[in-house]
Structure 1
Amino acid sequence: MKYSDDYTNDKFKRRAISVEEAQKRVMEHVRPGITEIVPLPEAQGRFLAEPLHAPHPYPHFRRSGMDGYAVVSADTKNCKDDETVWLRVVDEIPCGYVSDRLITSGLAARIMTGAQVPEGADAVVMLEATRLREEAGDVYVGLKKIVEPGNNITPVGYELQEGELLLEKGTRLGAGEISVLATFGIHSVPVIRKPRVAVISTGSELLSVDEPLQPGRIRNSNSFMLAVQIREAGGEPYIFGSVPDDVKAAGRVVMDALQNFDYVVTSGGVSVGDYDIMGDLVRQEGVDLLFNKITMRPGSVTTAAVINGGLLFALSGNPGACFVGCELLLRPVIRTMLGAPQPFLPRWQVLLGADYNRVNNYTRFVRARTEIRDGRVYAVPAAVDESSVMISIKDSDCLIVIPPGTGQLEEADKIEIIKLEGGGWS
């Protein structure tokens, strides 16, 4: 679907759409992810390209759950009224050793936790419940309590049977998932290739991070912030640096990036000033403009367009707006391409941690920090949450969602937040 006809060439006359509609429009252009095979040590943080099933049961042998003695449970039926039953110890079984002794009535085998239970034994008695004696060169173990069949033995397939689902398609592989794959010998893992995202900042005022400060100029911090956000989403960022306020120069860089990367994200140049080059670029012939204004603060001028089949995100140069635009729009696109079952950040119902009285006609996404008070979750708004403010981003682990027209909010009011990835509780 083309949305370009919704707009006029006068960039001061934008038609704002909702965040939800903007997300819907960019999602229509998500490209299917490409499968690649990576070695297990390189699979951390990657997304599975297909479901994986257990190639064998786990455990694949009867496993002792205790240090103790493997016995025939029927031998213990006479352990009553403090009567001790004595069994001759015929083997010692450490982990990794498979006994060739058959345990029959009157016999026992010393066994370690995790070792394979010998044939014939149907229970393991914990070491602390036994005592030993020697007689005629043989060792005997004494038991004083009745044990049931299967006691302290983990049966074959207790955790998973052969063919059962191990991990679903779209699972992000963390420590637990990697452990599961290693346990089942899955050393080559099918994953979705990381989306490659070009990161471009616009503005003649930008300095590189290693340049000394100059009057009227600032360092290009947005590119590095966006690169981290892209990595956290599962993508692979490529920082192009900054381009000056020149539509033709910016256009050449963007067009080249669109041909070689899955997505392109820019920061800056989307407002309504004389030097806001991205606003002009997306109105050129052959560009399918998806939107150039969203009913949200910060970042109302966030823009997206399709150029030659490639998806371009043009975010505000203000760091707060740039950060929010990436989380709400680029992140779910990356996650969807990776096959994640839940591409959007989770939304929670919590309590407001401090009074908030800022009223807007648009939905406001307020940087905030969650904390626990008396067992309940509160979100405390950042003291300074202006679009141009950068410092409070580092102190935030969520975004408070303030619907349009909301009046005075007081501490402990119920609110909705969007939980940012990696954010914890103080």
Structure 2
Amino acid sequence: MVERRKPMWVKDAIDYVMQYKKHGEIEIVSLDDCDGRFLAEPLVADHDVPPFNRSPYDGFALRAVDTKNASRDNPLSLKVIDEIGAGHVSEFEVGHMEAIRIMTGAQIPKGSDSVVMLELVKEEKRSEGTLITIKRSLKEGENISFQGEDTKKGNPLIDRGVAINPGIKALLATFGYSNVKVSRRPLIGIIATGSELLNPDEELVPGKIRNSNGYMIESQILRAGAQYKRYASISDNLDKLYETIKLALDECDILITTGGVSVGDYDYLPEIYRRLGANLLFNKIAMRPGSVTSCAEKDGKLLFGLSGNPSACYIGFELFVRPYIRTWLCSERPYLRTISGTLKNDFSKPNPFSRFVRGKIVYENGNVFVEPVGLDKSGVVTSLAWADCLMILPGGTRGYMNGDQIELLLLEDQQGSEKPWVEAKFSKS
């Protein structure tokens, strides 16, 4: 007898998953190894940047008042009394009609309040010393990078839960973080099910396909910031699959299975959930593709049952698994970010369920357009290679036309969103 399932709204399914959200433990890694990790605590400036007034150019530090009458018709000469290299401080104080040669990044010497760039003066050496000739006036503070103009001590810079990119790594180095507190990455077990699956290095034979879902999910896990453990593909054997899932639950923080979530004779996951005594959160969602996506909870750990169809599997991960991972990593913006775009193609297929179509963003004259990529079928894999967004087509319509405004979920974006895109769009009301 075929099991009857009642579909759940997408937003409700996300809410069920996030009821079990948690933050991972803190671990310390070296600055050398922190790329792509997620900050476990906010980054706050512990000193002013720059820490002193400094020169942004090679030039001469002087007093602006001494240049008041300087012009092409009235060049003025100043005596050079010292030279400062980057990382050094002059012992001299600049006085009337005096200047100190200064290199980029060096601290502004006492008495001076401006810098004239090297190429704007003429330098000549005489018996009485070095002189510079200047043919323009300067204002007080001109060409000076002032202490704290970049940031002040105590200013918050980066929130916790943000992925460390090259710019953030520069900040960590600036503020002396030779070791960095990051969130421990959750370990996610991956089990691909189905007797039809071959490894990538095996020859195709009639009735068989290569396992693409497992490798795809691994890449999605890494993009989300977690780590994975690959378990061998399991043929349609209930007892073997049950034992493998039990082992993976002991070894991992989260478990993902692909395939076996439908209602066919060899779709064993519903029975395995029952054997485990797991709490079934949902097993059907009002969405296309991926309506048979399921999720269960056992002892605080989540078991995500994703479709065996590649596109459905991919979308199920991005909608439900990714925000759980990002919350584990302390992100305050764990959901995919949404933007609006204009549809470039007709999409006339009606559907009672909300549809997520693999799309490609096109920028024209400062405007955002989007077009579907590949066939809109759940078993299609080629379209995933080109997709950088998911086009959201709400259900209950007769389709969408070229020129319609639609919402887009950004797949490669790292900024994220504080709330799921469905917050105001797909509620039961």
Deviates more, 1:23-32 or 1:89-98: 89-98
1:239 partner letter = R
Q: Contact (CA 8 Å) 1:11, 1:279: kept in 2 or not?
A: no
1:40 maps onto 2:23 in alignment:
no
2:283 to 292, 296, 311: 292
1:150 to 128, 141, 156: 141
Q: Match for residue 362 of structure 2?
A: 371
Q: Cα 1:29–1:319, aligned 2, differ >3 Å: closer, same or farther?
A: same
Q: Contact (CA 8 Å) 1:208, 1:241: kept in 2 or not?
A: no
1:135 to 126, 139, 149: 126
Whole-Å Cα distance in 1 between the matches of residues 117 and 231 of structure 2?
64
Q: Match for residue 372 of structure 2?
A: 381
Q: Deviations over 1:252-295 (max 9, x none)?
A: 11111112211000000011110001132123362200000000
> Alpha-carbon deviation of 1:106?
2.2
Q: Cα 1:327–1:126, aligned 2, differ >3 Å: closer, same or farther?
A: same
Unaligned runs of 5+ in 2: 415-429
Whole-Å Cα distance in 2 between the matches of residues 143 and 322 of structure 1?
70
> Alpha-carbon deviation of 1:145?
2.0
Whole-Å Cα distance in 2 between the matches of residues 140 and 81 of structure 1?
17
1:397 maps onto 2:393 in alignment:
no
1:309 maps onto 2:285 in alignment:
no
Q: Contact (CA 8 Å) 2:336, 2:413: kept in 1 or not?
A: no
Whole-Å Cα distance in 2 between the matches of residues 45 and 161 of structure 1?
26
Q: Deviations over 1:141-162 (max 9, x none)?
A: 1122221221111111111122
1:170 maps onto 2:161 in alignment:
yes
Q: TM-score, normalised by structure 1?
A: 0.94
Q: How does 1:176-325 map to 2 (within 5 A)?
A: 176-284=167-275, 286-325=277-316
The SS at the match of 1:199 is strand
Q: Contact (CA 8 Å) 2:278, 2:298: kept in 1 or not?
A: yes
Q: Match for residue 6 of structure 1?
A: none
> Alpha-carbon deviation of 1:11?
5.5
> Alpha-carbon deviation of 1:375?
2.8
Unaligned runs of 5+ in 1: 1-9
Q: Deviations over 1:372-391 (max 9, x none)?
A: 23332111112312111111
1:333 partner letter = Y
> Alpha-carbon deviation of 1:134?
3.4
Whole-Å Cα distance in 2 between the matches of residues 309 and 371 of structure 1?
42
Q: Cα 1:285–1:123, aligned 2, differ >3 Å: closer, same or farther?
A: closer
1:343 to 334, 337, 357: 334
Q: Contact (CA 8 Å) 1:95, 1:115: kept in 2 or not?
A: yes
Q: Match for residue 59 of structure 1?
A: 50
Q: Deviations over 1:89-117 (max 9, x none)?
A: 11222222322222111211111222222
Q: Contact (CA 8 Å) 1:269, 1:317: kept in 2 or not?
A: yes
Q: Deviations over 1:317-358 (max 9, x none)?
A: 010110000010000100011111211111111000111111
What is the percent sequence identity of the aligned residues? 42
Q: Deviations over 1:40-79 (max 9, x none)?
A: 1211111111112222211112110222111022212232
Whole-Å Cα distance in 2 between the matches of residues 155 and 397 of structure 1?
42
Whole-Å Cα distance in 2 between the matches of residues 54 and 11 of structure 1?
61
Q: TM-score, normalised by structure 2?
A: 0.93
Q: Cα 1:72–1:371, aligned 2, differ >3 Å: closer, same or farther?
A: same
Whole-Å Cα distance in 1 between the matches of residues 269 and 200 of structure 2?
23
Q: Match for residue 349 of structure 2?
A: 358
1:159 partner letter = D
1:278 partner letter = L
Q: Cα 1:287–1:377, aligned 2, differ >3 Å: closer, same or farther?
A: same
Whole-Å Cα distance in 2 between the matches of residues 66 and 13 of structure 1?
74
Whole-Å Cα distance in 1 between the matches of residues 211 and 18 of structure 2?
29
Q: Contact (CA 8 Å) 1:397, 1:422: kept in 2 or not?
A: no
Q: Cα 1:385–1:136, aligned 2, differ >3 Å: closer, same or farther?
A: same
The SS at the match of 2:284 is coil
> Alpha-carbon deviation of 1:81?
7.9
Q: Contact (CA 8 Å) 1:88, 1:106: kept in 2 or not?
A: yes
The SS at the match of 2:231 is strand
Q: Match for residue 4 of structure 1?
A: none
